[in-house]
Amino acid sequence: MPGDPHHGSRGSDHQVGMDVARRVLLPVSPADDDATAIGLCWGQPKIPDPFVWPEADALASSERELDAPVVDVGAAMRGGGDGDGMRRAAEQVAAACATHGLFQVTGHGLDPALARAALDGAAAFFRLPLATKQRARRAPGNVTGYAAAHVDRFTANLPWKETLSFGHRDHRAAGVSVVVDYFTSVLGSDFKPLGAVYQDYCEAMKQASLAIMEVIGESLGVGRSCYRDFFADGCSIMRCNYYPPCPEPERALGTGPHCDPSALTLLLQDGAVDGLQVLVDGEWRLVRPRPGALVVNIGDTFTALSNGRYRSCLHRAVVHRERERRSLAFFLCPRDDRVVRPPPRLLAAARGHEERRRRYPDFTWADMARFTQRHYRADARTLDALARWLGAAAPTCAAATSGSQSQDKAQETV
């Protein structure tokens, strides 16, 4: 809303409580010169005011790295997933997801050559002339397309980045290549090879995601197939991120503090350039890129599916003065019309009335997507805000997870 200089949304459409209304969005069509002006910002000696973040959000990084386990999913799945590898992986995931919600994964099956092709493809796309990239410009209220600093959604606290997002659904049985079709339809037939790279990459990420869901199901005691089956026919969102060098990195952010609305995020970081940070005990701790590993973090949709037992990961991305950074994010989501609620087995196994009590109302992924794309800028309180928007009551995000100091401080800074 114009009256909210902290978050700088474009306008108000729904009055859903003061704490929610402060971050309500009204998408508008960006003018052509908006994106042009943003494109001219890269390489300038000073950053424009809309890119300057409040000191609370741009809090200095800690010198400490995040203590995130490295989970060998390949070892977990060997022998039908019933051996020591699965038990070890489930213990690691349970510990990470009950604290900060992030772990790294090896043995995921992603071909290194495909990973390199996908990262190089993103680099090539973002080097294209702005006019070419604008062919895929994201429409207001839509999650797919090209965006420069999200000027189509916000007027302040702009992220210092460019993104290209597109959807993926598993239609291989029907012989449909959704990603290839997207690239050729919006960018032209010359982009078919790049679309084919991302089609293969998305399919590899979907299979890795389902394997990880088996480990997560085991860690929560609901069985390996519970969450895998829930997401088997789901939809996903793929996002290529580019963070240019920034002349004033201490005043800017590549991505502000937030929890992902999706269920699970699989992130591939390019090379040794760091940028991803997670808030733990009031400190922004670095997630060091690990060769060959995927970074996995829990999102709000899975927090609801676990009835608050597993924490949405509050994270941000910082930028550098002289180094550019790229990453690929794959967001696993349920089918649009699938109802998100904890499995009965999870609630039945809970100890005591308080753990069995439903912490969040039922919603569909379509509800969450509509809310975060059109009405609310995702942060650490998105689930609570969604519950109010749906007309239901929910506890504070801190109470819905573990009530730890890190989550309390997380909400104070966003």
What's the pLDDT tens digit per position in 130-161?
A: 999 999 998 877 889 999 877 666 667 899 99
DSSP sequence for 382-408? HHHHHHHHTT-----HHHHTT--HHHH
Helical residues (DSSP H) of 289-338, grouped into ranges: 300-305
Q: CA-CA distance, 65 to 29, in Å (whole number)?
A: 40
- Please give the pLDDT value at position 213: 98
325 carries an active-site annotation = yes
State phi, psi for 184 to the nearest 5 degrees: -70, -35
Q: How far apart are CA 285 and CA 308, in angstroms?
A: 23
* pLDDT score of 38: 54
Three-state secondary structure of 265-315:
EEEEECCCCCCEEEEECCEEEECCCCCCCEEEEECHHHHHHCCCCCCCCCE
Strand (E) or helix (H) holding 207: helix 192-219
Structure tokens of 228? Answer: 């895998």
Which pTM was predicted? 0.84
Q: Report the pLDDT value the prediction gives residue 29, as an integer from 0 to 100.
A: 39
For the chain, what are the domain ranges?
58-109+138-165+208-346+359-391
Superfamily assignment of 58-109+138-165+208-346+359-391 in CATH?
A: B-lactam Antibiotic, Isopenicillin N Synthase; Chain (2.60.120.330)
- Identify the CA nearest to 56 among candidates 218, 194, 253: 253
**Distance separating alpha carbons of residues 247 and 321, to the nearest angstrom:** 5
* Rounded CA separation 55/294 (Å): 30
Instruction: Report which residue type is found at 275.
Output: G
Instruction: Quickly tell me which residue has 């591939």 as its tokens.
Output: 268
Structure tokens at 220: 């929560």
Which of the residues 10, 224, 239, 325 is marked catalytic?
A: 325
Residues of the chain with pLDDT under 70: 1-40, 151-155, 171-175, 352-354, 392-414
